[in-house]
Amino acid sequence: MSDYRKTSFVAASLIAPSAPPTSERGVIRWLRENLFNGFTNSLFTLISIAAILLLMLPVVDWAFFKGVWNATSFEECRQIVIAVHGEAAHGACWAFLNDRLELLVFGFYPPDLYWRPIVAFILLLVALAPILINRLPRRLLWFSAIYPFVGYALIWGSPSRQTKI
């Protein structure tokens, strides 16, 4: 009898599954399927990346590389930019963020009533929670339904407290 009849071709145990190739999983797979799945799609993707870079590089240069982070006035910001980068250069003046943070956050809301928009924002997060998080009980949706009225009352206040501008 020949030797080939004694050899078994059936595995005695299961072989553990191996991971798919890197080109068929994760980010690479997503890129291949969504951005580079054909010539025109690849061309549009590359053109879009080039356009984004061409638009964003000057903004990044203005905001970060030529920006001034510590100055006390606009004139001082301008003088620093001119001294460092030349007469024709422009740069962001980030020192104003620290000076005008209150105005950026609250606008022209009266300072003694800042608690109202703060509470309205916190309650907005509470009202969004049962909508965005499935694990929370559905009975909390009642607050989401009444929040627009609560938020309006908090921001605008009672009619007797409203002042004419």
pLDDT in tens, 5-56: 666 667 778 888 888 787 778 888 889 889 999 999 999 999 999 999 999 9
Q: What is the pLDDT of residues 109-145, one digit of tens each?
A: 889 999 999 999 999 999 999 999 988 888 889 999 9
Q: What is the pLDDT of residue 8?
A: 60
Q: What is the pLDDT of residues 52-80, one digit of tens each?
A: 999 999 999 999 998 888 888 888 888 89
Contact 117, 106 (CB under 8 A): yes
Contact 120, 155 (CB under 8 A): yes
Q: How far are the Cα atoms of 69, 81, 90, 93 from residue 87, in angstroms, in the given order?
A: 19, 8, 9, 16
Q: What is the pLDDT of residue 125?
A: 95
Q: What is the pLDDT of residue 59?
A: 94
pLDDT band at 150, cuts 50/70/90?
A: very high
Q: Write down the residue that tokens 């061409």 correspond to.
A: 54
Q: What is the pLDDT of residue 4?
A: 60
